[in-house]
Amino acid sequence: MKLKSRHLLGLKGMDRNEIEFIFDTALNFREVLERPIKKVPTLQGKTIVNLFFESSTRTRISFELAERRLSADVVNFSVSGSSVAKGETLKDTARNIEAMKIDMVVIRHSSPGAAMFLSRVLKSSIINAGDGTHEHPTQALLDMFTIKEKFGKIDGLKVCIVGDILHSRVALSNIFGLKTMGANVAVCGPRTLIPRDLEKLGVKVYYDINQAIRNSDVLNVLRIQLERQDRVFFPSIREYHLYFGITKERIEKNNREIIIMHPGPINRDVEISADVADGSQSLILQQVLNGVAVRMAVLYLLGTQN
Ligand code: CP
């Protein structure tokens, strides 16, 4: 089997077989990550450039580790210290880097569509590591892989994405992926942070966090993305925590098992209280570990299928 595209731009349109194929491949790499020597020669001779125009801790380190563990040659680009600071365009930067004979580009950018744009102007395989408020496909793949690892399935599970849905690329990629995999998907947050017409994607909307908790197997809790908000969407951080924060009291009142996930970075005691983030039902660090395996799978499948 092969993936249909030589790029990973988003999960919209990716079919169930392809997602299962990535999970099966990631499972093999999870085993590699448990070995004393966590390295395989699979992408030896391939050169991958990580083009990060926005801040990142997890995604950037996770991709770099995945690339190095597949034995690829890795080049890291960041805006500060580059010719972007002198006014060079994304297209010129990317085409100049590609002229140095590279094979794949991993891009994070604040503009929705940046990864799609590169796929049209470069010959290399492009992987979207987050484009503005659009998609973050490898985050959703690792979230779903973690859910499947925990429950043995995704089909029929009730997954609720909580928080700033309006500005979240993680939410959109999760909605596309989870729907494809047969989950019952819901979102919960203040009315001002839920896009209009979201129900048209087949998603249930809760405005009451206690109702969302009662009706979910998994909560995927999102950060309030203040850096993407050009106006005030709720009265205060304190009030947000009061009405939508995932707290120990709310989880215990529910009296049934519920799994807590978060793509990071966490704002402790804003969208999630510290004791829940660090509690036994939290899979947050498991998500981070699985991220390396899932990214190894994506890089391997795109880097070897041509
Ligand atoms: N989850 C995620 O994308 O985190 P970073 O912004 O740290 O990469």
- Residues 73 and 165 both lie in one domain: no
What's the chain's average pLDDT? 95
Mean pLDDT of 129-133: 97
Percent of the chain whose pLDDT exceeds 70: 97
- Residues 193 and 106 both lie in one domain: no
Span 104-113, pLDDT tens digits: 999 999 999 9
Span 177-192, pLDDT tens digits: 999 999 999 999 999 9
Is there an atom of ligand 1 within 6 Å of 56 CB? yes
- Residues 251 and 207 both lie in one domain: yes
Is there an atom of ligand 1 within 6 Å of 263 CB? yes
The answer to whether the beta carbons of residues 176 and 169 sit under 8 Å apart is no
- Does 9 reside within a domain? no
- Does 233 reside within a domain? yes
Atom of ligand 1 nearest to the CA of 55: 6
- Does 6 reside within a domain? no
Probe residue for ligand 1, chosen from 139, 146, 167 as the CB with the greatest number of ligand atoms within 8 Å: 139
- Does 234 reside within a domain? yes
For residue 226, is pLDDT > 70?
no
pLDDT at residue number 18: 98
- Residues 211 and 103 both lie in one domain: no
- Residues 144 and 210 both lie in one domain: yes
- Residues 101 and 169 both lie in one domain: no
- Residues 113 and 174 both lie in one domain: no
Is there an atom of ligand 1 within 6 Å of 227 CB? no
- Does 2 reside within a domain? no
Percent of the chain whose pLDDT exceeds 90: 89
**What burial letters (b/e) apply to 132-158, b meaning 16+ CB within 10 Å?**
bbbbbbbbbbbbbbbbbbeeeebeebb
pLDDT at residue number 228: 63
Probe residue for ligand 1, chosen from 50, 53, 55, 59 as the CB with the greatest number of ligand atoms within 8 Å: 59
Q: What is the DSSP letter of 89?
A: -
Instruction: Please give the full DSSP string across 162-222, using - where no structure is assigned.
Output: ES--TT-HHHHHHHHHHHHTT-EEEEES-GGGS-TTGGGGT-EEES-HHHHHHT-SEEEE-
Mean pLDDT of 93-105: 95
Atom of ligand 1 nearest to the CA of 62: 8
- Residues 164 and 37 both lie in one domain: no
Q: What is the DSSP letter of 288?
A: H
Provide the CATH number for the domain around residue 297.
3.40.50.1370
- Provide the residue range defining the domain that includes 189: 137-287
With cut-offs at 50, 70 and 90, classify the pLDDT of residue 83: confident
Question: Around Cβ 72, how many Cβ atoms within 10 Å?
Answer: 22
Interval between CA 129 and ligand 1 midpoint (Å):
9
Span 207-224, pLDDT tens digits: 999 999 999 999 999 998
- Residues 255 and 129 both lie in one domain: no
- Residues 30 and 125 both lie in one domain: yes
Is there an atom of ligand 1 within 6 Å of 130 CB? yes
Interval between CA 253 and ligand 1 midpoint (Å):
31
- Does 5 reside within a domain? no
Task: Indicate the number of domains in the chain.
Answer: 2
Is there an atom of ligand 1 within 6 Å of 291 CB? no
Q: Closest by alpha carbon to 183, among 213, 161, 206?
A: 161
- Does 11 reside within a domain? no
pLDDT at residue number 62: 98
Determine the Cα–Cα distance for residues 3 and 128; give it in Å rounded to an integer.
15
- Does 3 reside within a domain? no
Q: Closest by alpha carbon to 185, among 172, 164, 204?
A: 204
- Residues 167 and 234 both lie in one domain: yes
- Residues 173 and 267 both lie in one domain: yes
pLDDT at residue number 227: 66
